[in-house]
């Protein structure tokens, strides 16, 4: 049922945009606004061209094309995964009914909200990362940064397509708003907290693409289950691109840890700051920060909104099809993290049994946490392989939380409850301090020469698309 992508069009697409003149015109009038946004809020480093992957189709084979392109001429297109004509709703009250090709009136507002929240994160990360090009540790890394940026731009297109095609005038207005809100803006910030934090250095970038893009993977995974078929198909294709973003994060942190371990071993010291590498305790602090703000993105431990989204069929669970239950959850329960108050006014960290529907945020966050542990295991393997006894770890779920059950308390990375004073006195042991950030930033000097790499990071094991590390991935202006 897939249609060949039309690449000769102004907006490459596989949704037969040509057949719907109104929609085509609406999107063509949004396009210059998008390009203005890209010019003013996108990457600041001037380049001639970049070796980029461009999505051109959705099939298993050959869905992407690689080549040097000027970024402003990148072909941001609209691609939905192939339609399964027999697809049925997999969960909730409508389980077993045919998937929706149109938006049911009763769910219109909720679906629009879910799409806007997802859409808002896509350009936000481009804004957060816009100055990183100036300090890239290699041309390979620079190219990866720009690849992530153009694809987040395409993800914005993916959400804007849905808003334009299915949500009428309100959808078009929301599409405009997606370009007007800006990361960190005081008047009109991005919707979610983590997307208003700056990404000031490359260690932050790798941590962001590891932990925060991974949140994106889980959110897209729940929307891929949606009864609203165009949303499902859109997210399925976005997940394909998202895998590369997380590879950038995973291998980026790998390489920082590898280089640090190497300098530690060669000099028989933990104090690698004097030697131009990033000390392990600083890496741990960056990890603590990005992990905890990403946990907040999953929302409160309990949520009646999310229960309603599930029952309505708007948003499912991670890998819904593989769950061994009735996919309706009306009589199931789940233990969620909670603050206990033993009656003496002293809270403690405990668990609370709630209905499974209300605890769906917890279910998703746990899937995410288990996935994050995979990275920690990799990084510890690198340390062990270097013969070092040091290890990194994920901090406790209550650490540095601003959303949910633990928003009102402070806890150490080991889960020990702290008074506000203790937290104030000790948080610099666990979160990056100004001194740490200044040090990391002092290392961020550009290495824009072919085949060269900054001293604080190891080179990658593999290049991109079979090219070597010393390939001319980027031509600077
Ligand atoms: Fe994205
Ligand atoms: Fe991403």
pLDDT digits (tens, 9 = 90+) for 142-171: 999 999 999 999 999 999 999 999 999 999
Per DSSP, the three-state class of 451 is: coil
| Structure token digits, residue 178 | 């997606």
Distances in Å between the Cα of 7 and the Cα atoms of 34, 109, 148, 207 are 19, 33, 21, 35
Ligand lying nearest the CA atom of residue 154: 1
Using CA atoms, how far apart are residues 423 and 229, in angstroms rounded to an integer?
47
> What's the 112 CA to ligand 1 centre distance in angstroms?
17
Using CA atoms, how far apart are residues 159 and 442, in angstroms rounded to an integer?
38
Distances in Å between the Cα of 8 and the Cα atoms of 4, 53, 77 are 12, 18, 11
> What's the 242 CA to ligand 1 centre distance in angstroms?
6
Cβ contact 93:313 at 8 Å: yes
> What's the 123 CA to ligand 1 centre distance in angstroms?
8
Distances in Å between the Cα of 402 and the Cα atoms of 317, 318, 384, 407 are 24, 24, 34, 4
Ligand lying nearest the CA atom of residue 223: 1
Contacts of range 231-235, beta carbons closer than 8 Å, 24 or more positions apart: 231/111, 231/114, 231/115, 231/162, 232/81, 232/87, 232/99, 233/80, 233/81, 233/82, 233/83, 234/80, 234/81, 234/158, 234/159, 234/161, 234/162
Q: Which strands form 64-69's sheet, in the order they lie side by side? A: 64-69, 47-55, 474-476
Q: How confident is the model at residue 201, as a pLDDT? A: 98
Cβ contact 395:387 at 8 Å: no
> What's the 146 CA to ligand 1 centre distance in angstroms?
13
Cα three-residue angle 445-451-452, rounded to 5 degrees: 30
> What's the 154 CA to ligand 1 centre distance in angstroms?
8
Q: How confident is the model at residue 6, as a pLDDT? A: 59
> What's the 150 CA to ligand 1 centre distance in angstroms?
10
Distance between first and last Cα of the chain: 43
Using CA atoms, how far apart are residues 448 and 226, in angstroms rounded to an integer?
44
Cα three-residue angle 211-423-289, rounded to 5 degrees: 10
> What's the 355 CA to ligand 2 centre distance in angstroms?
32
What is the overall mean pLDDT for the chain? 95
The alpha carbon dihedral of 452, 455, 456, 462 has a sign of positive
Using CA atoms, how far apart are residues 60 and 82, in angstroms rounded to an integer?
10
> What's the 159 CA to ligand 2 centre distance in angstroms?
14
Cα three-residue angle 199-205-210, rounded to 5 degrees: 130
Q: How confident is the model at residue 91, as a pLDDT? A: 98
Low pLDDT (below 70) residues in the chain: 1-8, 60-62, 342
Q: What is the pTM of this model?
A: 0.96
Q: How confident is the model at residue 2, as a pLDDT? A: 43
Using CA atoms, how far apart are residues 76 and 261, in angstroms rounded to an integer?
40
The b/e string for 305-316 (b: 16+ C-beta within 10 A; e otherwise) is ebbbbbbbbbbb
| Structure token digits, residue 190 | 């991005």
| Structure token digits, residue 70 | 């000027």
Ligand lying nearest the CA atom of residue 156: 1
User: How is 225-272 classified by DSSP, letter by letter?
Assistant: T-SBHHHHHHHHHHHHHHHHHHHHHHHHHHHHHHHHHHHHHHHT-S--
> What's the 195 CA to ligand 1 centre distance in angstroms?
12
Per DSSP, the three-state class of 83 is: coil
Q: List 417's β-bridge partners, or say none.
A: 411
Distances in Å between the Cα of 476 and the Cα atoms of 47, 149, 465 are 4, 17, 20
Using CA atoms, how far apart are residues 102 and 286, in angstroms rounded to an integer?
43
> What's the 435 CA to ligand 1 centre distance in angstroms?
32
Q: How confident is the model at residue 347, as a pLDDT? A: 85
Q: How confident is the model at residue 417, as a pLDDT? A: 95
Cβ contact 258:206 at 8 Å: no
| Structure token digits, residue 171 | 């959808």
> What's the 155 CA to ligand 1 centre distance in angstroms?
5
> What's the 214 CA to ligand 2 centre distance in angstroms?
8
Among residues 376, 419, 380, 421, the alpha carbon closest in space to that of 395 is found at: 376
Q: How confident is the model at residue 8, as a pLDDT? A: 63
The b/e string for 413-428 (b: 16+ C-beta within 10 A; e otherwise) is beeebbeeeebeeebe
Cβ contact 263:277 at 8 Å: yes
The b/e string for 236-275 (b: 16+ C-beta within 10 A; e otherwise) is bbbbbbbebbbebbbbbbbbbbbbbbebbeeeeeeebbee
Using CA atoms, how far apart are residues 203 and 444, in angstroms rounded to an integer?
9
| Structure token digits, residue 308 | 């309603």
> What's the 359 CA to ligand 2 centre distance in angstroms?
26
Ligand lying nearest the CA atom of residue 123: 1
> What's the 134 CA to ligand 1 centre distance in angstroms?
23
Ligand lying nearest the CA atom of residue 147: 2
């Amino acid at each position: 049922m897939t249609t060949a992508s039309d690449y000769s069009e102004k907006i490459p697409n596989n949704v037969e945009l040509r057949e719907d003149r109104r929609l085509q015109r609406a999107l063509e009038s949004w396009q210059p606004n998008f390009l203005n946004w890209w010019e003013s809020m996108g990457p600041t480093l001037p380049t001639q061209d970049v070796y980029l992957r461009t999505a051109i189709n959705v099939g298993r084979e050959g869905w992407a094309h690689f080549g040097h392109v000027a970024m402003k001429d990148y072909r941001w297109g609209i691609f939905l995964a192939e339609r399964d004509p027999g697809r049925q709703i997999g969960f909730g009250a409508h389980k077993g009914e045919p998937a929706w090709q149109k938006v049911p009136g009763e769910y219109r507002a909720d679906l629009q909200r879910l799409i806007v929240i997802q859409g808002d994160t896509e350009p936000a990360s481009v804004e957060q990362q816009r100055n990183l090009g100036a300090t890239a540790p290699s041309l390979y890394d620079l190219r990866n940064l720009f690849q992530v940026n153009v694809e987040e731009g395409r993800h914005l297109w993916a959400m804007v397509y849905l808003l334009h095609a299915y949500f009428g005038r309100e959808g078009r207005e929301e599409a405009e708003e997606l370009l007007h809100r800006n990361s960190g803006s005081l008047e009109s910030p991005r919707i979610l907290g983590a997307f208003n934090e700056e990404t000031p250095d490359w260690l932050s970038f790798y941590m962001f693409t590891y932990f925060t893009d991974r949140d994106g993977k889980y959110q897209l995974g729940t929307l891929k289950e949606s009864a609203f078929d165009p949303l499902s198909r859109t997210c399925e294709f976005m997940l394909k691109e998202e895998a590369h973003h997380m590879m950038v994060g995973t291998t980026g942190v790998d390489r920082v840890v590898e280089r640090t371990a190497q300098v530690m071993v060669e000099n028989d010291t933990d104090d690698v700051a004097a030697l131009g590498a990033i000390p392990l305790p600083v890496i741990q602090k960056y990890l603590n920060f990005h992990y905890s703000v990403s946990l907040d993105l999953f929302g409160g431990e309990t949520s009646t909104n999310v229960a309603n989204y599930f029952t309505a069929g708007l948003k499912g669970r991670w890998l819904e099809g593989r769950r061994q239950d009735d996919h309706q959850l009306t009589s199931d329960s789940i233990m969620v993290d909670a603050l206990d108050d033993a009656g003496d006014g002293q809270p403690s960290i405990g668990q609370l049994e709630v209905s499974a529907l209300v605890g769906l945020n917890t279910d998703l966050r746990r899937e995410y946490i288990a996935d994050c542990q995979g990275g920690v295991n990799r990084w510890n393997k690198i340390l062990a392989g270097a013969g070092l006894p040091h290890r990194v770890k994920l901090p406790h779920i209550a650490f540095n939380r601003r959303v949910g059950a633990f928003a009102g308390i402070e806890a150490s990375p080991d889960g020990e409850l702290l008074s506000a004073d203790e937290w104030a006195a000790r948080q610099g042991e666990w979160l990056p301090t100004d001194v740490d950030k200044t040090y990391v930033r002092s290392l961020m000097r550009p290495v824009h020469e072919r085949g060269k790499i900054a001293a604080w990071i190891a080179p990658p094991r593999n290049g991109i698309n079979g090219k070597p590390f010393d390939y001319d991935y980027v031509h600077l202006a």
